[in-house]
Amino acid sequence: MNVSLFITCLGDHFYPNAGRATVELLERFDCDVDFPASQTCCGQPAFNSGYHEDAKKAVKQTITAFQDSEYVVTPSGSCAAMLHEYSHLLSDDKEWEQKAEALAEKTFEVTEFLVNVLGVQDTGARFQGTATYHTSCHMTRLLGVKDAPMKLLENVKGLEMIDLPNKHDCCGFGGTFAVKMPQISTEMVQEKADCVRETNADILIGADAGCLMNIGGKLSREKSGVRVMHITEVLNHQ
């Protein structure tokens, strides 16, 4: 099975280990992974800010970069959800709309791909510790990926999972929301950090780099001692 890695902006600049872990996981389950070098931002920041015409430039570049891919897999539910929005954005151009629909059909967040496409629920990972899991908004509410991460984490040997209070609440990042509404965002991430500390978990796990960066930054500034990890790093741990 041939898979193209969509690394995303935050993955490329801040979470390269998540990208590396994604590749190693896919290769472990007999996927041939390539990396289209012409990929760039998915266009979500411009799209969310209302600059739809500017977003279309990035959207068309992404579609072109992955047009020959059999599958596209990304360690980001948020960016995967954005790729599924392309056809709506390009609905005024039937040719590009069809290309967008084709890309959406073959694009998956990594845990969704492991569980629902490859049929994997146990990656063979071992990790000693207690952890809690943050469910990101775009991944669960827009992309609809809810069960796959927990199915995989439940089979990590040595890992004790603790339910996160108010787990469905937004962390306050929301892409450009954190920039436009910093005061509200700060209060939201404070509530999320309080919930994380309430679990007494050693590790906070998430599947979206934006959420991890936001919550992790708050936990770090509070010197909480909680380690923040992308889910692929845990699933790939031996």
Read off the pLDDT of residues 112-134 as tens digits, 9 standing for 90 and up.
999 999 999 999 999 999 999 99
pLDDT band at 190 (very low <50, low <70, confident <90, very high): very high
Instruction: Tell me: pLDDT of 220 over 90.
Output: yes
**Architecture of the CATH domain 121-235:** 3-Layer(aba) Sandwich (3.40)
Q: Which of the four pLDDT bands, split at 50, 70 and 90, describes residue 177?
A: confident
Per DSSP, the three-state class of 160 is: strand
Q: How far is CA 237 from the centre of its chain?
A: 18
Q: Which residue has the tokens 């929005």?
A: 85
Domains of the chain: which residue ranges? 2-115, 121-235
Within 13 Å, how many C-alpha atoms sit on residue 202's CB side?
A: 8
DSSP track, 98-132: HHHHHHHHTEEEHHHIIIIIS--S----EEEEEEE
pLDDT at 80 over 90: yes
Q: Which sign does the torsion angle of CA 131, 29, 2, 16 carry? A: positive
Task: Report d(CA 97, CA 95) in Å as an integer.
Answer: 5
Categorize the per-residue pLDDT at 179 as very low, low, confident or very high, splitting at 50, 70 and 90: confident
Residue type, 47: F
Q: What is the pLDDT of residue 25?
A: 98
pLDDT score of 180 more than 90: no
Q: What is the pLDDT of residue 115?
A: 98
d(Cα 39, Cα 63) in Å, to the nearest integer? Answer: 9
The rounded distance, in Å, linking the Cα atoms of 42 and 64 is: 12
The pLDDT confidence band at residue 6, using thresholds 50, 70 and 90, is very high
pLDDT of 175 over the 90 cut: no
Residue 66 carries which side chain, given as an amino acid letter? Answer: F
Per-residue pLDDT at 178:
86
Per-residue pLDDT for 90 more than 90?
yes
